[in-house]
Every structure is written in structure tokens, then in C-alpha cells.
Amino acid sequence: LSRRFLHPIRELTRGVEAVRRQAFSFRLPAFDPDELGRFAATFNEMVAGLEEVALARLVQESLFPRGPVAVEGAEVFGACVPASQLGGDYLDYHALPDGRLLFLLGDVAGHGVSAALVMAMAKAVMAHPALADRPSAILEVLNRVLTRTLKRRKFMTCLLGLYQPVGRQLSLANAGQPYLYLLRGGALRALEFTGYPLGMSDRSGFKDHDLSLLPGDVLVFFTDGLPEAFVGPSRQIGHLEVERHLPGLVRDGAQATEAAIRAWHRTVVMPGPQEDDISILVLTIT
């Protein structure tokens, strides 16, 4: 009785506790070839899969920038909080050798392993040193790769910007990414730059939109997980409520502003699991 039931149940209890601690290297010993033995084998296969997902999440987290990046007269910071082990949001930014600042915010349809693979593919394309100078041309390259590789089975919204410190000029191209805002002097302006998501068609026709910025301007971009979070059993925050609070959440610096937006968001959403990935990107001009 002890060998056939009590010992396997004890080991299974240890296994469940190991999963709770996310100790995915744990494996159950071999039991007799009965129902408990088959259950133990299935458990070990499941834990091996979880271990691979946990490793994939570590790899994905390494693809995101760490900390703010500054160029002359501007600072950018962004962060992503995925809804599951693997997220589908893509956030990236870095200074170019010529002193300009490139940033990108994207959202792959869905989340999980397939969305994470699309995000990694986009990251690989963006790392290529031969990309064109205009945001629209860079989106064309991304779109061509995603459309031909994914055969229109997956798509991704994407905003891409290039900031030029000389003259404080910003050029944006948008591929279906909503929620773009400019805050100037305490007033909020929604930026209406539209475009088709990446991966839907080879003929996309992305356009560049140029903005002249001023000292003190703050640009805020985020994915739909932020306004679509639930504040009640059947009620979402909504973009109008986010817009109403954004001017009061501006702080000194891009990182502090991002943190203030996320802190406010945590105070209004329902407790419980997060429904969708939430990424926020902030660009401040000094």
C-alpha cells in the first residue's frame, strides 16, 4: 500500500509544490506501470514544457531595452508587462550612430508562443544595419518580411518613429497602432496617423508624418491592453478615461511618466489576471 499509493502521492505533492515555486527542473521518479505511473510520466512531460516556456520568456525579456535612452534634447523609455508567460507586444528603442533616436511600439494579434515568435522575427529585422532612413520605408521592410513569411496568418500593428535632435523634428509612420498622444502645455492632442497592420498585404502604402516638437513636449504611446483592461465585471477603462487622466500623469522624465501611468492604471483595474499585454512608451523633449 505504501509503495503503490502513499509514496507516489507524496511525490506528486512535491511535484505540484515545485510547479507552484516555478522550479521546472523537478521531475517525478518512475512509478509502477499503472495509472499513477502514467500520470507521473505525463506530469514530467508537462513540467518539461513549462521549463521551455520559462526559458523562452527569459530570452524574450532580453529582447526589450533596459532603462531609458537619451539623445540631445530627448529621452525615451518604455516597458512591457505581458499577460502570460510569452507576450505579443514588441517595444524597442535605441540611439543611432548619427545621433537620431529610433523607437517602435507594436502589438501582435493574440499572445502566447506564436505571437512571441512574430515579435522575435520583427526584432531580428529591426537589428539589421541596412534599414532605410524613413520610418515608412522601415515599415515596408518589416511588412514584406512578415507578409511573405507568415502568409497572412498573423498580423501586427506597429508605430515607428525617428527623432532628429537638430530642429527637434519627429517623423512617424503608423501601421494600425492606435493610442498616440502629444501632451503640450498641459493639453492633450490625439495623433490621427492611420495605416494597415503589418502582415496583411504587400501593398501597404505607409506614410511619413512629420512633427516639429517643443521643449516640454511629451509623447505617450501604448497598446490596447491598457484602455481595454476591466474596471468592473463587464466594463473596460476605455480610451476616453485614459485621455482624461494622461495630462495629470506627466512627470519629470520619460521613465517617471511611464511609472506614473502604470501606477494609476493599477489603482483602477479589477484585481485578478491581466487580460492582455500592456506596453507603454514615453518620449520627452527638453
Sequence-distant (6+) residues with CB within 8 A of 18 are 24, 26, 47
Output the pLDDT for position 239: 93
From first to last of the 286 residues of the chain, give the pLDDT tens digit.
Answer: 666 666 666 777 777 777 677 676 777 777 666 666 676 777 777 666 655 555 556 555 666 788 999 999 999 999 988 876 656 788 899 999 889 999 999 898 876 667 777 777 777 777 665 566 799 999 998 898 888 887 777 888 999 999 999 999 999 999 999 999 999 999 999 998 888 899 888 777 899 999 999 999 999 999 999 999 999 888 999 999 999 999 999 999 999 999 999 999 999 999 888 888 899 999 999 9
Q: Where are the alpha helices (DSSP H) in the chain?
A: 7-20, 35-63, 113-126, 135-150, 239-245, 254-268
Fill in the DSSP letter of residue 152.
T
- The DSSP secondary-structure symbol of 198 reads B
> pTM score, two decimals?
0.78
